[in-house]
Amino acid sequence: MARVRLAPLTSLTQTRYVLHLSDGKRLVLFRLPTIESPKTKDKPRARNDANGWSYYAMEAECPHAGGPMKDSSIDIEDSAYIVSCPWHAYDFNVETGESSVGIKACTFPVDVRDEEMVVVEYTSEKLGEKVELVKLEAVSEQMKLKKSVNGANGATATNGAGAGGETDTAPIRYLDDNATVCEWCAHILNTSNPEHKIELTAHLFKLFTEREGTDKPMVIGDRSNVDLPDLPPRDGVKDVNRQAVPKPGRGGTQKSRINMLHALANIEQWAIDLAVDICVRFAKFQTNSADALGLPRAFFHDWLKVANDEAKHFSLLRTRLEELGSYFGALPVHHGLWDSASVTAHDLRARISIIALVHEARGLDVNPVTIDKFRKAGDGDSVDTLEIIHNDEITHVTTGHRWLTWICAQEETDPVQVFRGNVQKYFRGPLREPFNAEARLQAGLDRRYYENLSGYEGVQPA
């Protein structure tokens, strides 16, 4: 067994890293808060623990179907960390590799006892070969936020929404520690400043995940005492009819690429609201089954994770626009995505079908084409941003598929037929080719879902 030296302990500050090894293999390194329990309090410090953090390493691809474990969700069960693959939700104990579904992931001991260097104990499949670290890749978690005066509750943030990026001196309003998830989601929906919206979204996801597994998890709440807007407000943009939005062009000029990035930033900002709206609007959803079930807490974790990702995407696109000499709000936008949310506001099954499994899945189809246009134009920085977004969006479609499938399993219905029925009722026109069949399949959507499928024509049926 080789001892592969990774990095000084003090240099590792993110939750997860991808380790590229000289034998061609990749691992994921997790850095997670140490779980204190009666079983561990009186024992000597474990060799993978230091300064209140625990370190775990496992294979980078899910042993089920090769899903990216760097994008896995993390939960605590029985005083142990459990990571779930973003593609099909296969779960693994990050220390032992054991799973509730009977397959096992390869895990590797991590040693930080000298408190200077993090070391992974690794056995290569190529016997006798010396293995070294080739690259330590931090997984993108951070948003590109505007600089704040204080950077804390009540901070004053710069708002880049206006022409040329004017400064907005209104403070960010944080809710108190007793606020429910639904109160937070409604607050985000009613926040018009885009910089405040992304900071509040990141704060809510961090708060929710940090309090899970403690004796004070966040209360989910309901929508009875909150005010949900008919249309979430927007600062610094001109909202027009979809046909009035400038055509993006083919990406051959910088102006064309700015148009594309601006249109994508608009989509990502609406996607933040869509993800938090599903949490508050359907907080008290119950299945139509003999023993009606409410939504488990994992549902709220998953959609807050989606919201956090969308906030990250908006921040990356907004930053890229500014690097190209423009800004978000320089062009008119439309709210077509929110129209789809409005017509599915009464039914969680319909909401998931149209937003996650039609609109998000369509993103999987067009993203590679868009990325190729930017690559041919030599815009590598934009390519890097768009690839982050594409990889995250596969997991978002997976989230939609997972929860529609869960509902249908409780109700003993066929998720394919439920999805197709919702498209026929709530989506206008056909689902058009080309389809990114590979990415869709990674997210759980085989061809039965989307081939030869059309929505309604003309006026939407009652």
Reading the block at residue 8, the tokens are 């000084």
State how far the Cα of 367 lies from the Cα of 371, in Å rounded to an integer. 6
- Count Cα atoms within 13 angstroms, Cβ side, for 188: 33
> pLDDT tens digit string along 203-227?
999 899 888 878 899 999 999 989 9
What integer is the mean pLDDT of 354-362?
A: 96
For residue 174, what are its two tokens? 């944080």
Residue 243: both structure tokens together: 């046909």
| Mean pLDDT (whole number) for 187-212 | 93
Instruction: State the average pLDDT over residues 226-238.
Output: 94
Report the half-sphere exposure of 140 (CA within 13 A, side-chain side): 19
pLDDT at 363 over 60: yes
Question: Does residue 157 surpass a pLDDT of 60?
Answer: no
Res 155: pLDDT: 38
Q: How far apart are CA 310 and CA 364, in angstroms?
A: 15
What the chain holds in terms of domains, given with CATH numbers, is 2-37+46-138 (2.102.10.10), 181-455 (no CATH)
For residue 233, is pLDDT > 60?
yes
Q: Which residue has the higher pLDDT, 359 or 214?
A: 359
Cα separation of 365 and 440, whole Å? 8
* Residue 397 token pair: 């479609």
Q: What percent of the chain has pLDDT over 70?
A: 89
- 243-279 tens-digit pLDDT: 767 777 766 788 999 999 999 999 999 999 999 999 9
Higher pLDDT, residue 443 or 404: 404
The pLDDT of residue 402 is 92
For the chain, what is the mean pLDDT? Answer: 87
Q: Is the pLDDT of residue 152 over 80?
A: no
Question: Residue 305: which of 405, 451, 176, 205 has the closest Cα?
Answer: 205
Which is more confident, 113 or 328?
328
- Please give the average per-residue pLDDT across 385-391, as a whole number: 90
